[in-house]
Amino acid sequence: EPEVTQTPSHQVTQMGQEVILRCVPISNHLYFYWYRQILGQKVEFLVSFYNNEISEKSEIFDDQFSVERPDGSNFTLKIRSTKLEDSAMYFCASSPTGTSLTQYFGPGTRLLVL
Amino acid sequence: DQQVKQNSPSLSVQEGRISILNCDYTNSMFDYFLWYKKYPAEGPTFLISISSIKDKNEDGRFTVFLNKSAKHLSLHIVPSQPGDSAVYFCAASQETSGSRLTFGEGTQLTVNP
């Protein structure tokens, strides 16, 4: 069964450093998303991406965040200058168009900012 | 953000019995609802969904009920199995491709053998 994959599974970085989280969505899906879950809190929407542009972003997704689909398979989330409060699990998800609205999630990247 | 709320942080049931997980929402713009299951250190796994034009959707041991007037949905698992032990998240969205999901807090289900 096709699945969303994410790399790395864990990332430790120093405050102020840039990180890039990578995702390979399911191959025939056209909508891509990033969510995060801070420890003990809800899963929160960050951004959605369709047709090579951001279709929606939350108030969390400020100028330090960016997303890119650099080729036909990868979808990346960049955090330019990490803060302590960026420590969280980051989940990538994808969904097809058409009648199915279900979003399928990857296993997540645990980001720890020191 | 209290738009989707799961009031029970945990639920414990005996194997073979019914598990009922509840979820309430406040945003009347939500018209598509999903349940996800999550094991530690894994991503949410899709279980079942329901559109607001229905009041019930069933898939094997899993049934989701939607009460639009009460803005309430529930997930029934019967019979419950020990492998069902996980955190269950309710999520809501608008029935439009690409809409964001808004999640509840999750309920930890423990099924005892």
Condensed to tens digits (0 to 9), the pLDDT of residues A28-57 reads 898 999 999 999 899 999 999 998 999 999
Burial of B9 (0-12, 13-18, 19+ CB in 10 A): exposed
B98 closest CB neighbour out of A55, A58, A104: A55
B34 closest CB neighbour out of A56, A102, A110: A102
At residue A101, does pLDDT exceed 90? no
Per DSSP, B9 falls in state: S
- Specify the pLDDT at position B79: 97
Q: Phi and psi dihedrals of A22, rounded to 5?
A: -115, 150
Is B42 in Cβ contact with A107 (below 8 Å)? yes
Rounded to an integer, what distance in angstroms lies between the CA atom of residue A59 and that of residue B96? Answer: 20
Low-confidence ranges of chain B (pLDDT < 50): none
Provide the strand spans (E) within A1-108.
5-7, 10-13, 19-24, 31-37, 43-50, 53-57, 65-68, 75-79, 88-95, 104-105
